[in-house]
Amino acid sequence: MSAPSVEKGIQFIREQIDAPVASFFSSCVHCGLCAEACLFYGQTGEAKYTPINKVEPMRRIWEQEYTLWGKIKSSLGLSRKVTEKDFEEWETLVYDACSLCGRCSLICPVGNDISDMIRKIREGFAAAGYAPEGLIGASKRAVEIGSPMGVKLPAVKAQIAHLKKDTGLDAPLDLKGADYMVLLSSMEIMNFPEYLEAVARIMRQAGKTWTISSKAFEATNAGIQIGVSDIAAELVQRVVDAAEELGVNTVISPECGHAFTAIRWEGPNLIGRPFKFKVQHILEVLDDFRAEGLLKTEGLEEAKLTFHDPCQLVRKGGVVQQPRNLLNMVASNFVEMRDHGAMNWCCSAGGGVSANERADEVKFKAFNQKKSQLDELGVDTLVTACANCRIMLEEGIEEHEMDLPVVGLTEMIADHLVEERVEDKAEDKNE
């Protein structure tokens, strides 16, 4: 990697050092609590994986260029400039060994948002060309094709055709004025097609109109994961344009944590204006239906089960009680993990780690934290609400030869619906 590229990266990092970042560096008391909160440090025991260490190049730039003491040290030759070697050494720390889960931020005694700082330092690394090939490829496909996994509209149409053939239900494309516009992640399209059927069945029972945009069906935001705000903004804008063109009331983010963060929390800031529609995660919508009496279920899961809280959904998104409300509708033996809700441990594959094959070794080491949680409970079923988590959980469980099925909560709810026959509804209307 040439020096000019590194200089470009340093400039991008410099631009990320705003007032909050400066205050975070100034207030860090070096207590080490962020290390205890990090599953990568906890499962490897290596000091380099301490969360605050992952932003050391940014801290060094801040000190040398924005503090009096740092400027004095630099002038006396007492501090080392950020170099190409630093980019080489830190790239694996910011991409392979951080899932942007935010647990370190939550536990920091002085309120430093360390995971956001890691997200920001990725801007510089990506600009300098120091990013995993998997994430670079995913970002290019997202921009050029519309999906990080290369999924195109014909694949979505094929899923809809299967849905019609198997169930008689439809997933309308480009229906103007619908109540909801449903987004899908590539992983749901390719790995979990049952999710689309579950949504169709639930919407039918709730009596809601919904649609999928042929122009913006993909929810996953590769720009957030690699750390390129321009890409993230472009992907959000596609969804916004489609939703506003169709005139929908609400956009539903699917069972995907970073997709929810991108469109719900970062989206308006990325495009520089508020949305003209509401954004909800699918579990928020389902819980609204439950509260309104529109979600009617029957029967209970008898297996002992627990819920894996996706970091972006629960810890960063605040969707904590909704999945529990829904589980209590359909499960008689739901038990919580020792660390659950906002303090739950990451699956180890968020923040683009799942798309980074180079990170497999440290990712599976970090998964041991989740394995410990599951071993302690001895459950029969693991439920979650993020397709990315689901894939990692399945891979980790297979790696450790555990006999534990992983299911999506939306699908579990759909499996317990009281589905009235069409002729019954007609009779009710005639009475």
CATH number, domain at 176? 1.20.1050
CA distance linking residue 90 with residue 125, whole number of Å: 9
Cβ contact 295:282 at 8 Å: no
Residue finishing a domain among 291, 322, 355: 291
**Which residues neighbour 244 within 8 Å (Cβ) at sequence distance 6 or greater?**
276, 277
Query: Does some domain include residue 25?
Result: yes
Backbone φ, ψ for residue 151 (5° rounding): -75, 130
Is the domain of 156 the same as that of 285?
yes
**Domain co-membership, 284 together with 383:** no
Q: Which residue has the tokens 């705000």?
A: 229
Q: What is the DSSP letter of 337?
A: -
Domain annotation covers residue 379 = yes
- pLDDT score for 3: 44
Q: Is residue 8 part of a domain?
A: yes
* HEC readout, 142-187: HHHCCCCCCCCHHHHHHHHHHHHHHHCCCCCECCCCCCEEECECHH
The three-state secondary structure class of 236 is helix
- Report if residue 59 sits inside a domain: yes
The first and second tokens of residue 280, run together, are 């909800």
Residue 138, in any domain of the structure: no
One domain for residues 287 and 156: yes
CB count in 10 Å sphere of residue 319: 23
Looking at the whole model, is its pTM more than 0.85? yes
Residues 218 and 172 in one domain: yes
Dihedral of the alpha carbons of 240, 135, 148, 251, in degrees to the nearest 10: -30
| Residue 420 within any structural domain of the chain | no
Same domain for 118 and 157: no
Q: What φ, ψ does residue 171 adopt, rounded to 5°?
A: -120, 90
Q: Are 393 and 328 in the same domain?
A: yes
Co-location of 180 and 287 in the same domain: yes
Q: What is the pLDDT of residue 420?
A: 60
Position 210 scores a pLDDT of 98
* Number of domains comprising the chain: 3
- For tokens 């956001």, the residue is 116
Query: Do 370 and 345 contact (CB within 8 A), yes or no?
Result: yes
Last residue of some domain: 85, 103, 131?
Answer: 131
The verdict on residue 422 lying in a domain is: no
Task: Tell me, yes or no, whether 106 and 178 share the same domain.
Answer: no
What pLDDT is recorded for position 419? 78
Looking at the domain assignment, is residue 321 inside a domain? Answer: yes
* Residue ranges in the chain whose pLDDT is less than 70: 1-4, 420-431
Is the same domain home to 286 and 324?
A: no
Q: Could you list the residue range(s) of the whole structural domain that residue 410 is in?
A: 305-415
Q: Which of 352, 257, 274 is nearest to 311 (CA)?
A: 257
Walk across the sheet containing 180-182 and list its strands: 210-211, 180-182, 250-253, 278-281
Residues 157 and 265 in one domain: yes
Q: How far apart are CA 359 and CA 94, in angstroms?
A: 11
User: What are the distances in angstroms from CA 347 to CA 200, 263, 272, 395?
Assistant: 28, 22, 32, 10
CATH number of the domain where residue 19 is located = 1.10.1060
Is the CB of residue 144 less than 8 Å from the CB of residue 220? no
Q: Which has the closest alpha carbon to 254: 221, 281, 223?
A: 281
Nearest CA-CA partner of 411 in 380, 381, 373: 381
Is the domain of 322 the same as that of 287?
Answer: no
* Shared-domain flag, residues 87 and 211: no
Query: Pick from 233, 263, 291: which residue ends a domain?
Result: 291
